Amino acid sequence: MTESIEKELLEEIKEDHKYIVSLRRHFHMNPEIAKEEFQTALKIEEELDKIGLAHKRVGETGVYAEIKGNKKSGETSSTDSPSKAIVLRADIDALPIQETHECEYKSKIPGRMHACGHDAHTASLLGAARILTAHKDLFSGTIRLTFQAGEEIGYGARIFVDGGYLDGAYRTFGMHAASNVPSGKVAVVPGPNNASVDWFKITVKGAPAHVSTPQLGSDAAYIASQIVISTQALITRRTSPMDNVLVGIGKITAGDAYNIVAQKAELEGTIRAFTPEVREKTKQMLSDMAKQTAQLFGGDAQVEYKDFTSPLINDQTSTEEVQKTAARLFGEENVIKNRQASLGGDDFAEYILKVPGTYAYFGTGNPVKEGTTAAHHDSKFDIDEEALLQSVSLYTFYAIDFLNQE
């Protein structure tokens, strides 16, 4: 791509900024949580229709489309292939949060809010799709657009993967807003970026008795409390300090009445880890400890797991490719290559497991703009909408760069 064409595309993205902002605000005002993104999907399809792209539903609320390049063969390098494909991803679901940030585009749906930036992701990928469709002569191969539902519950990525929508692709690429990264900067880091996420429930069964005769029963509440305490020792005494892993218990229920030894207790929590090995070891240790603790005090424990997402580990080569594109677009000084990994999860990890790829974080924090430095999932969360210029540009240019690379 020549320098003049690059400048032309960047200028078009700037001209489209109001359109992209309007899309982001539409999604922000009309948030829908995981598995309920029906109107969001319809809006995405409406915009794809305007662009002139055919589309299909993936699951009930995911949306898929393709942009096929038509770069003339005489302009294609010997290593280019008309079947070469890159998958771009945006997640579309919101959160069950009541927005408290006052703005003209505040959520209109009680108890629902885009408090993580998925509205920006969706608008950005639509913005990139509009530019890429208008310039199909600049690349060969195929750009696959995936608007993924249900990221917040670790649901939607596997629908696309299992449905074959990544099959045969050479690269995957996704982005996430980051309120703790200054607007105008992009973080692209190889290796572990996000932890795996496993939900667990431990069900403890004891035996009821009057509290005045505890020896006649088996106290499930006491067993559950011992499991909570022992869980912390799994990390501090059974796991290497060099392994980043977390076990958290956020919900405990037990008992039937104040004067009855509890016959049942339930604990719900999560395990977060950066490698598959540590993840599996921690799950096994937790199961063993819970069962043995319950048995020690005359009860029984069963452990149930749900795999929400794998650890997100950016591919080295893909990451270097994106870093190179970002440095050219935004300047080397605005590309962060050593951002600390997060124990939060993201199911884009499933994309990378299927096809090599990388996940970038575009900065949306601006101290002079209210809410833009608030933590993700905060009811006051907002983004600096100027950052949409970076996200649309990186989607657009990395796709072209990759498909045209020698």
- Asked if residue 28 belongs to a known ligand binding site, the reply is no
Distances (CA, A) of 254 to 232, 261, 270: 20, 10, 19
Q: Taking the CA atoms of the chain, what radius of gyration do you get in angstroms?
A: 24
Q: Would you give the distance in Å from CA 5 to the centre of its chain?
A: 33
CB atoms within 10 A of CB 328: 13
Q: Is 1 helix (H, G, I), strand (E, B) or coil?
A: coil
Query: If you write DSSP's letter for every residue of 332-371 in order, what string do you get?
Result: GGGEES-PPPBSS--TTHHHHHHS-EEEEEEEEE-TTSTT
- Looking at the DSSP bridge assignments, the partners of residue 312 are 194
- Asked if residue 377 belongs to a known ligand binding site, the reply is yes
Calpha distance 40→45 (Å, rounded)? 9
The end-to-end CA distance of the chain, in Å, is 13
- Asked if residue 376 belongs to a known ligand binding site, the reply is no
Pairing outcome for strands 335-336 and 186-187:
parallel
Nearest to 174 by CA among 195, 188, 162, 184: 188
- Looking at the DSSP bridge assignments, the partners of residue 178 are 363
Calpha distance 243→199 (Å, rounded)? 20
| Residue pair 392/326 in contact by the 8 Å Cβ criterion | no
Task: Please enumerate, by residue number, every residue annotated as part of a binding site for Mn(2+).
Answer: 116, 118, 152, 176, 377
Task: Please enumerate, by residue number, every residue annotated as part of a binding site.
Answer: 116, 118, 152, 176, 377
